[in-house]
Structure 1
């Protein structure tokens, strides 16, 4: 598994330097595994969410969206299995008292080994996890002499389960407060609203319910920047189908979701499907879409055939019927579900990694280089930078007019300061696909210079064509 830690570190630094991502509460030395999205990061993140939402709801007549609350009745999580089953094998170092997720510890060690050795170690780990063989997992850690990062010792406790849900209290008086959970996934908000949506939307099976929302997991070793965090965002869609048709729909959604990823211009060789070795308690099939990050192939999206587990569980615990009457076959049944679930933050990181490029532009005469983010125009935080060549001679006035014309349609940026070359470089670094320079010739013939980010080519176009050119590229 090839990794490029230097590139990964460069991307992390770039995110901070150019206003994409900041460590949360940084003035108080930050909070482990929690991040804030800056001015360009929040735009990019919103554009990713909008693109997903449009592709799921607007482009599918039989999929609708909801926005369920983060707080849910605590029995929800009993029914879903999270209270009893949402736990991971953990191990503590007796000297440092630091706790680790077993799979993270072994994965990190595998990355230090030769590719074949690392894969063999992970295959052993997968087999032991599948069998819930905690003694075997501890022996694997000890046999590989895996040390604690803090104490540097191999003095480990036994492996045991640790629940990953955050809990809190609802109620104004401590004695009367009820314990509830911060949701560890957004899916359950969809399941408990299945009948509400089906009846009010007069939905016929097959149909889907989509949602974007925050979820929370008490990850013990949150790592790899925003790849694994305690507070993150999911884009999930639950597709309700007739029992017995799940295999065909599972394959269809695998294909659909891969098409969506490739529609963003990513090299297909950067993606692959990875079937789950150990299935979740609710699934009869599951696969991850993995992308080749600089830190290796990692999961970005999961597609799961969840059977009728969730609705059946909620029907049992709530004692409310969660069934559908299918007029085509004159039958009542609990629908089966195919789930597509993608991490917004992981998709953000994928988009950054895929776009980031360091280019050497040196010539025989001079040294030159640039860092450019080659975002698809539809995702770029800023679509157009408007740059008057000077602050005088009426050029800013013309630039402001163009700004007023365009800003209703897409996000623009206006800048007068520094040389035009420096301004271009700054826009390259935040991924702006087009820069327009207003110069003295503009006053004569109403044309401007438009510069294309990826090729750095410049062309002279009529001022009134600028908006149309940018819109064309955004909507491609």
Structure 2
């Protein structure tokens, strides 16, 4: 069934809630803007994406190790990183609707509309002007472009704009027993700094030699004024980051390596290659000498999922200066002390989750002649699927539930398995299709006679008869992490 991109996105959001993947946070109190909870199937899928990233990053690389740094960090950390002084977005208010927008996003939306309408020259010219204004931090020029291109507020429909101002995105709080005497600290806006401040701890205790990497998965917090597009842009989100420490002068070699390696990781789960593209940064962050985004084509256009950045020695140099502690590495091969350069790979877990859902979601028309039929299926890679197999007794009597439970108890030692006996077998198949379960195992009367069951495959809907003794091997091979990691 063909759907417009808007419809597809709405249907995925609706499906995510209906089948226990994502819920609006605090929904009984009418929710909290741009904050979401992951449900029973969502948390499983999220954990499987994390496992895939961690195994491919840490398990497969003998020179990459993982840490788990605290969310709270000393306030000087964020001074050194540049977040206190420079972590802000250019915001503009509409005087009539009282709504606030990111100036650059308003202009990017306009560029997308020009491209959609076939006005390529206008789109290219505006993109060039936008890039120039952002590079120069020229807030007046940003406002002038919004006026010149007659951009209206989506709510009020007017062009009654304020000046563009910078808005800091860090959440602050107090640490201490008495608020008046407390020190102001911040919820971390990124996970990278926890890696940098632990650079020497990890290097010395792990006896790590350059080049080596430190990986981390963790929550970060940004006071996004424009939080939109479901879980694309949230105030509380999760990052999977790896900082790779290299010799100065070798950073571009490793930048090219990680750029290629990270795209391979994305493609291994079966996402069509044409859905991805690289987007080189025109305006580099203050710490970078090269930066590229891996973008995915969501229903609302190509958007960043992962960034690869060459961060130079900025972070370690800044922390060395502000802390007064030496963060140098002695390279015995060249008999030299230096502050390493860093290549960063940073992926938004929530965006990867959304990408996975969108890519897997399919509405299929199964009608034959006058017989109308359809199904919604999540074609998730078996490694990522929340539930690996469903055990379904054909009826609730004649010893079938007992036999099914026996199989369940064997398989659940290795895999996340679900048992279900309510409704017709067809309805149960459809429910499992909708959550992405790769295999349904039906226990029927023949199972009691010859110890065989029917395995139904989610994608093809084909069924085959197999021995119960073979189930461990069959399912184990089909959902093994080797299938992804070998790629």
TM class, shorter-length = over 0.9
Corresponding residue of 2:271: 266
Structure 1 spans left out of the alignment, 5+ residues: none
Displacement of 1:130: 1.8
- Give distance in 1, aligned partners of 2:272 and 2:305: 15
Q: Deviations over 1:43-96 (max 9, x none)?
A: 000000011011111111000000000000000000000111111111111223
Equivalent-residue separation in structure 2 for 1:151 and 1:454 (angstroms): 46
Aligned residue among 448, 451, 461 for 1:446 = 451
Find 2:350's aligned residue among 345, 354, 358.
Answer: 345
* Residue aligning to 1:288: 293
Secondary structure of the 1:367 match is coil
2:12 is aligned with 1:7: no
User: How far apart, CA to CA, are the structure 1 residues paired with 2:406 and 2:127?
Assistant: 59
Q: For residues 129 and 237 of structure 2, what CA distance do their matches in structure 1 show?
A: 30
In the other structure, the counterpart of 1:117 is 119
The alignment's TM-score, normalised by the length of structure 2, stands at: 0.96
SS in 2 for 1:436: strand
Report the alpha carbon displacement of residue 3 of structure 1 after superposing the two structures with TM: 7.6
SS in 1 for 2:109: helix
Deviations 1:405-437 (CA, angstroms, capped at 9, x unpaired): 000101001000000000000000000000000
SS of 1:154 mapped into structure 2: coil
How far did residue 112 of structure 1 move?
Answer: 3.8
Using the alignment, how far apart are the partners of 2:168 and 2:14 within structure 1? 33
How far did 1:166 drift? 0.7
> How far off its partner does 1:262 sit?
1.1
User: Once the two structures are superposed, what CA deviation does each residue of 1:202-240 show, in whole Å capped at 9, x if it has no partner?
Assistant: 111100000000001111111111011111000000000
CA distance in 2, matches of 1:218, 1:241: 33
**Offset of residue 466 of structure 1:** 1.4
Partner of 1:67 in structure 2? Answer: 68
Q: Is the 8 A contact 2:213 2:245 kept in 1?
A: yes
Answering whether residue 84 of structure 2 is matched by residue 83 of structure 1, we say yes
TM-score, structure 1 as length reference: 0.98
The Cα shift of 1:110 comes to 3.7
Correspondences of 1:414-429 after superposition (within 5 Å): 414-429=419-434
CA displacement, residues 226-281 of structure 1 (integer Å, 9 cap, x when unaligned): 01111100000000011100010000111111111111111111111110010000
Deviation at 1:36? Answer: 0.4
1:396 is matched with which residue: 386, 398, 401?
A: 401
Contact preservation (8 Å) 1:3, 1:296: no
Contact residue 3 and residue 295 of structure 1 kept, 8 A:
no
Q: What CA distance in whole angstroms lies between the structure 1 residues aligned with 2:4 and 2:191?
A: 32
Question: Relative to structure 2, which stretch is displaced further, 141-150 or 287-296?
Answer: 141-150
- CA gap of 1:3–1:420, structure 2 versus 1, over 3 A, is closer
| 1:238 counterpart residue number | 243
Q: What does 1:295-314 align with in structure 2 at a 5 Å threshold? A: 295-314=300-319
Match of 1:55 in 2: 56
* More off after superposition, 264-273 vs 385-394: 264-273
Which residue of structure 1 lines up, in the alignment, with residue 136 of structure 2? 131
User: Does structure 2 conserve the Cα–Cα contact (< 8 Å) formed by 1:20 and 1:41?
Assistant: yes
Gaps of 5+ in 2: none
Report if aligned partners of 2:439, 2:455 keep a CA contact under 8 Å in 1. Answer: yes
Q: What is the CA-CA distance between 1:374 and the residue it aligns to?
A: 0.3
Map of 2:257 onto structure 1: 252
- The size of the alignment, in residue pairs, is 475
Cα distance in 2 for partners of 1:255, 1:245 equals 16
Correspondence for 1:384: 389
Over residues 328-381 of structure 1, what are the superposed CA-to-partner deviations in whole Å (9 max), with x where a residue is unaligned? 000000000000000000000010011000110000130011110000000000
Q: CA deviation at 1:459?
A: 0.5
TM superposition shift of 1:142? 1.4
Match in the other structure for 1:318 = 323
Q: How does 1:177-196 map to 2 (within 5 A)?
A: 177-196=182-201
Distance 2:398 2:187 in 1: 58
1:17-65 CA distance string (max 9 Å, x none)? 1110001111111111110000000000000001101111111100000
TM-align CA RMSD:
1.3
**Aligned-partner SS, 2:241:** strand
1:159 aligns with 2:164: yes
SS in 1 for 2:119: helix
State the Cα distance separating 1:139 from its structure 2 match.
1.5
Kept in 2, the 8 Å contact 1:110–1:117? The answer is no
Alignment of 1:348-363 (within 5 A): 348-363=353-368
> Structure 1 CA distance, aligned partners of 2:304 and 2:191?
18
Preserved contact between residue 104 and residue 221 of structure 1 (Cα < 8 Å):
no
| Matched-pair contact (CA < 8 Å) for 1:62–1:206 | yes
Residues of 1 paired with 2:115 and 2:206: CA distance? 55
Q: CA deviation at 1:145?
A: 2.2
Aligned partners of 1:114, 1:76: CA distance in 2, in Å? 42
* Equivalent position of 2:43 in the other structure: 42
Alpha-carbon distance between aligned partners in 2 of 1:324 and 1:247, rounded to the nearest angstrom: 19
2:373 to 368, 371, 379: 368
Residue in 1 that maps onto 2:334: 329
**Alpha-carbon distance in structure 2 between the residues aligned to 1:81 and 1:370:** 51
Alignment of 1:422-437 (within 5 A): 422-437=427-442
Contact map agreement 2:104 2:142 (CA 8 A) in 1: no
Alignment of 1:171-182 (within 5 A): 171-182=176-187
CA distance in 1 between partners of 2:246 and 2:304 (Å): 26
Deviation at 1:114, TM superposition (A): 4.2
Q: Report what 2:109 is aligned to.
A: 108
Write the distance in 2 (CA, Å) between the matches of 1:333 and 1:464.
59
In the alignment, what sits opposite 2:211? 206
Of 215, 218, 234, which aligns to 2:220? 215
Q: Distance in 1 between matches of 2:160 and 2:428?
A: 55
